[in-house]
Amino acid sequence: MTCIAATMPTIGLGTYGRTGDAGMASILAALELGYRHIDTAQSYDTERPVGEAFRRSGIPREQVFITTKVADTKLDRVGFMPSVEESLETLGLDHVDLLLIHWPSQNNAVPFEDYMTELKRAQDIGHSRFIGVSNFPIAMLEQTRALLGDGAVVTNQVEIHPYLQAPRLSNYARSIGLPLTAYQPLAQGDVRSDPVLVALGERHGVTPAAVALAFLMAEGHAVIPASSNPVNLRENMRSLEVRLSDDEMGQIRALNRSERRINPTKSPRWDD
Confidence of residue 7 (pLDDT cuts 50, 70, 90): confident
pLDDT of 3 reads 47
Contact (CB, 8 A) for 50 and 80: no
The Cα-based distances of 31 to 91, 109, 186, 224 in angstroms read 16, 39, 20, 14
- Which residue from 190, 192, 224 is spatially nearest to 209, judged by alpha carbons? 192
What is the rounded end-to-end Cα distance, in angstroms, of the chain?
Answer: 30
The pLDDT assigned to 203 comes to 98
Q: Whole-angstrom Cα distance, residue 31 to residue 132?
A: 23
Residue 72 pLDDT? 98
pLDDT in tens, 200-238: 999 999 999 999 999 999 999 999 999 999 999 999 999
Identify the CA nearest to 210 among candidates 182, 229, 191: 191
- Between CA 58 and CA 44 the distance in angstroms is 24
Q: Are 131 and 157 in contact (CB under 8 A)?
A: no
Percent over 70 (pLDDT), the chain: 98
- What CATH architecture applies to the domain 7-253? Alpha-Beta Barrel (3.20)
Of all helices (H) and strands (E), which one includes residue 183? strand 180-183
Q: What percent of the chain has pLDDT over 90?
A: 97
Q: What is the pLDDT of residues 163-203, one digit of tens each?
A: 999 999 999 999 999 999 999 999 999 999 999 999 999 99
Question: Region 58-76: what's the mean pLDDT?
Answer: 97
Helices marked H in the chain: 20-33, 47-57, 80-91, 112-124, 138-148, 167-175, 195-204, 208-218, 230-237, 246-253
Q: At what angle do helices 246-253 and 195-204 cross, to 10 degrees?
A: 160
Residue 6 confidence class, pLDDT cut points 50, 70, 90? low
Average pLDDT score over the chain: 96
Instruction: Report pLDDT digits (tens) over 44-60.
Output: 999 999 999 999 999 99
Known catalytic membership, residue 115: no
Examine the pLDDT at 2 and tell me if it is beyond 50.
no
Average pLDDT over residues 106-110: 96
35, 44, 163, 172: the catalytic one is 44
